[in-house]
Structure 1
Amino acid sequence: MARPQPAPEKAGPLSDGPGTGIGSRAMELLWLCAVLLALPGARGDCQKPPRFAFAEPLTPLNESYPVGTRLMFRCRPGYTVARGKFPFIACLANSSWSENPDFCIGRSCGPPDIPNGNFDYQTDLQLGATITFTCDIGYRLVGKPSAQCEIDGNDVSWNNIPYCEIIPCLPPPVIQNGQLISGDRDFTFGMAVTYRCDEGFALVGDDTIHCTASEELQGVWGGTVPVCKVVRCDNPEVKNGIRLSGFGTAHTYKNTVSFECQPGHTMKGSNVVTCEEDSNWEPPVPTCEPNCGPAPQFPFAEAEGAVGDSSPAGTELSYHCKPGYTAASERSSVVQCQDDGTWAAEPDFCTRQQCAPPTIENGAVAAENFLFETVVTFSCHPGYKLKKSSSAKCVVAGNGVDWDPAPPYCERQPPEVLCGEPPRIDNGMHNGTNGKSFAQGSVVVYKCKDGFTLAGAAFLQCIAGDQRWGVWNQPAPQCRGGADVILVGIFPLLLALLVMNI
């Protein structure tokens, strides 16, 4: 059975914009859809389609259309086919038209040209959009402050584009005894004009004013218009001073003079003064006064805070006592620089602190006084011995003074122990023959003459005996020789033979 062929329709243009037609492949797909909808089994009709504000049908509309009908539209003036969409709707099998919203969109008016200004918008710049205008600083808007994108024939355009004009100023004020350097011309926002005074007059104030704008965007001159006055300041002189700049005797408005003082003097006031409009120097002309050299140094006190190499007359320096010293009563610790450049101070306004007088039982202390940094010496009475250091010094201790080291003490000594002359021996001698008495602990050594042998201890030591007398710790040895030696040698041998019963 042959496939039914639908009656051909006259196809109108798919778009009123250049280059927006549907391709041949797309047309084939559309015709295929129409054929399928016309096959047996398709039922129902579609009512007249709704009216679109952005498009109109190519042919007059009927009251109803069979399923499969495709209606083509063209975009109304001010609209163009949206990218990726086709201007048609189709009657579907459920007797409703296919959805294809906004297949035509408003054309763009594009950004407006507004020199020296700008525009603001909340959406795009398409048909129906509204924009507002602003001008750059120094310009004001001429025309309506907003515009709307409207249809203009077959296209769209802005219904109103204002322009920005530069804000003008009236001619600047005229001053007495002076004139404008700029001359006659038109004055607009941002321009500056400069004044100058006639000969013999000084310009008081800024010599330049600028054309600015008020809140109502009216041109006004910013700044204070200067005046031309006669200003003459007396020639400044500083005793004991040297002028560094501003030489000459004539001085007018805003002239400056700078000074420095001669060596040995200190400046009071500013070293630079300016001639002001009331013909006076501001600040007042300084003075140079004699100064004192570095702050005086004392062995007993030091200045409070940093002090420079020189100080002007009248300067007062406060001192505090160094450790080990204390403030003297009814004497001031303030040192003052006098008008003759010398420092004045009361003598010895700090005095040495005194250590407590040291005492030593069974001894004596030798010292001239007990003031700070004094050294004392100690000694013991007979029969006593000094323990610890024999001297001490009065030094700083905390907020006061004390002895260092602490004073010693005297320890009682036992009576001296003496031994008499060591015993003499025959055929021998000892090394203590030159002494008559020997202290406890003394040691003497014995030895025999040639041919004799020492029998007994060779060393004797003096040890304590009863009361104060000493004794030698063991009997004196003997020096033996000749037959005594032989007997002494044979006796041990005989004793051994007896024991062994030989």
Structure 2
Amino acid sequence: MAICLKVSWYWRFQRAVFRVTQLLCFSAVISELMNQKEVAGWTYHYSPKLYSWNISRLFCQKFHTDLVAIQNKKEIAHLNDVIPYYHAHYWIGIRKINNTWTWVGTKKTLTKEAENWADNEPNNKRNNQDCVEIYIKSPVAPGKWNDEPCQKKKRALCYKASCKEMSCSKQGECIETIGNHTCSCYPGFYGPECEYVRECGAFNLFPQHTLMNCSHPLGNFSFNSQCSFHCAEGYEMNGPSKLECLASGNWTNKPPQCIVIQCPPLKTPERGSMTCLNSAKEFQHRSSCNFSCEEGFALVGTEEVQCTASGGWTAPVPVCKVVQCQPLEAPSKGTMDCVHPLAAFAYGSSCKFECSPGYRVRGLDTLYCSGPGQWTAPLPACEVIMCDPLESPVHGSMDCSPSSRGFQYSTNCSFYCAEGFMLRGAETAQCSDLGRWTMPAPICQALQCPALLAPQKVQMKCSHPFGAFRYQSSCSFTCEEDLLLVGASVLQCLTTGNWSALLPECLANTCTPLLSPPNGTMTCVQPLGNSSYKSTCQFFCDEGFSLSGPESLDCMPSGHWTGSPPTCEAIRCPVLFAPEQGSLDCSGTHGEFSVGSTCHFSCNKGLKLNGSKNVECTVSGRWTAPPPTCKGIKSAPTPQRQCPALITPQQGTMSCRHHLGNFGLNTTCNFGCQTGFTLTGDSSLRCRPSGQWTAITPRCRAVKCSELHIIKPLAMNCSNPWGNFSYGSTCTFYCLEGQILNGSARAACQEHGYWSTIMPTCQAGPLTIQEALAYFGGAVASTTGLVMGGTLLALLRKRFRQKDDGKSPLNPQSHLGTYGVFTNAAFDPSP
């Protein structure tokens, strides 16, 4: 019943087929119960209903195996016996496919031997008679076949096969027989079900050095097994390279043999040796031989050869050839004698060299060609006999003759020393025939000056470039702060072996002598001497005069006073003016409105003087009485135009005469400047009727001194209260390290526009001999002298005139003043 349901489901897409299938299922059940004829193994079946050929086959495939496939006449007879007669006959499983009758179950073509056509069949009416029926129990042609159209309806004659998928183990053909099947085994297989495969067996004696690769599709070393062979490197095959296991259970051939590869024998090269690894007699694959040559012979070819897998050596056998050295030639001015035991300039050759008279061999006189093909030394040369080069002595020179020959045999050299140095050693030397100098080269030694000892209170510092107190030794000297160095501050050892000057001394420093100011007096305290360091001078003015400048001055360690000397200026009273409608007349011995001046007042005609007629300027700077006035004016004066009030210029004075009141018409004002200043503008102004002054108010400007220009190593530092290089400016000078200041260290711009001293200079060395003589030799050339430490120091006016010829940028004056003291610091020509 399950089968029927499945068939019904399969044909649900075709309604007509579905109905037929239901009938088939029903008929099949009945047939199974009533009409089935069974034979052991292979059984035959038929349908109770009529179907077309296609539906009949579906019926057989669904319930049995397929439409019956008749294999022989015996089977036809069996069917004719067991299958009942039916007038419409039965379909069998043969059909024309591609115009060929074919068993559809086995897909085999119908053979002539198996044909069982009825007489005159198949008739091939060409009307789709592609299907075949069998006549069962037909009285005319029982068991015979006839071709019919496939659409006709007949009973389906089915078979149920005993051959299954695994019948004959898939290694043979399953042949159905009546009630059974047999297996026809394919070649290489045997057994009832072809279940066994023929075996060739493994190889008993496997050859050495042989490599095998096998494939076993049906079992190890069985039918269809294949084995390929090849030899290891260095071996060659003798026999077939491939074997196969046949269906008979035998291999196609015997296994091959691998024979070792041999290379040709080698010979030891002449004058050489051969060393081989592995078997030197057989020269098998991978055998290697090394070659070497005797000393003096070189290997031409490969040093090592190997036997390759192809049976050949990697290179030919090398040979040993004698080593060749570079051919030699006789040097210039020489000869060469050679011996060649093997070949010219080859290993073992020797060459001896000799030079012409006056020359010697430079290098080895005999050379040998050695094993590496090199001469034992470079090719020698014949050179003229030479002495070692000489050099000029340090701080000296050398003169050789003949100069074109260098330092050859018979060359003479003379030696000289520079100024300040003395030759120590032979003055001449000659190159001998042995290539040696007759005397060693001399040296130049600096001249020796006498050793110096620092005097008392003098500090000495020396440098000795060529030895203690020798040529160019330099010694500098300094004193304590309150002492003055008298003499040269630096001494130098000269080329004569003498010092450039005598030793200096440290004495008390002096300043320029001072004088009492005019109209005044001076009192000094001088503990170390006149105008010396630590001296103090105080200044006083006579009655009627006041001091302008410092009240006292001190002499500093530098030899300069602490300031410029003061002056005594007349004391002035306030400026007086003529009263209105009056006049003023003054007189004085020290200037207008100064102490002792007297002024007389008077009024114009018709007016009366109210106050003192005469007044006098007292030492207190006041008038004895206030200025009087003129009264009794009959009528008031017409107002006059006034000029703007004037202001006294800085560092200046102003004196005005007022005729019509303060700064009225015709008022005249006179202007002046203090010491050290000059007036710029009109010195007198008058008030015009227009109310304007005749000029602008003048100004007082500081007197200018010449501009100072310094040259290194001199340095300068200035203070300028009234402008650069103006009155009151002071400049200090100093030298850079290692230099000595020669001259005054300080200069001041004075009221007359001159500097107080000339500009100093910086010097690196001591004074010259001529300067030292000018300082320390000769007669006294000045009216004022100073004896210090027993040495007379003259003030030489002539020398200072030479140093200051009136062209100095500091002081254009040609005179030097009356007083002066020579020092190493300054000379101040101011009074």
Shorter-chain TM-score range = 0.3 to 0.5
Task: Flag the structure with more relative contact order, 1 or 2, with Cα contacts below 8 A and sequence separation at least 6.
Answer: 1
Q: Greater strand share, 1 or 2? A: 1
